[in-house]
Amino acid sequence: MSLPLHFCPICCVLLDIEAGNGNQKLRLTCPTCPYVAPIRVKISRKETFVGKEVEPIFAADDMKYAPRTAATCPRCHHGEAYFRQMQIRSADEPMTSFYKCCNDNCRFDWRDD
């Protein structure tokens, strides 16, 4: 659902919302001509956020083939983790290392730039 756009009835330009002077309320003003219209109704919009589906770095099937390394988990302090390196920035920047704790009770994901 989108907000209705308000256009100037004189020159058909999109109207701006402007604070009135002193104790006046908000009003719609045209940036190209002297048209001004008071806002008589509350203008509001309520939207629900729809999050983007994030694909995990480590899929469940990847764990049995992923290499392991000595890395300390920030959550459970286990000393071994699965790792994967990916180039997520420009080519002249170093690769980013992603880790997943090997402890079956933890499985915490973190990254090291």
The whole-number pLDDT of residue 35 equals: 92
Answer yes or no: is 55 within a domain: no
CA distance 107 to 63: 11
**Containing domain of residue 20, as a range?**
1-43
Same domain, 81 and 107: yes
Same domain, 64 and 108: yes
Answer yes or no: is 49 within a domain: no
The whole-number pLDDT of residue 75 equals: 94
Mean pLDDT by 10 residues, the chain (113 residues): 71 85 78 87 77 75 79 94 86 88 89 77
The whole-number pLDDT of residue 31 equals: 92
Answer yes or no: is 50 within a domain: no
CATH number at residue 39: 2.20.25
Positions at the binding site: 8, 11, 30, 33, 73, 76, 101, 106
CATH number at residue 106: 2.20.25.10
The count of structural domains within the chain is 2
Same domain, 64 and 106: yes
Helix (H) or strand (E) holding 69: strand 68-70
Same domain, 65 and 108: yes
Contacts of 3 (CB under 8 A, 6+ apart): 43, 45
Cα pseudo-dihedral 97, 84, 56, 73, rounded to 10: -60
The whole-number pLDDT of residue 63 equals: 67
The whole-number pLDDT of residue 56 equals: 73
Expressed in angstroms, the distance from the first to the final Cα of the chain is 39
Answer yes or no: is 38 within a domain: yes
The pTM assigned to this predicted structure is 0.49
Same domain, 37 and 79: no
The whole-number pLDDT of residue 1 equals: 36
Positions at the binding site for Zn(2+): 8, 11, 30, 33, 73, 76, 101, 106
The whole-number pLDDT of residue 69 equals: 92
Answer yes or no: is 103 within a domain: yes
- 3-state class (DSSP) for residue 98: strand
Answer yes or no: is 48 within a domain: no
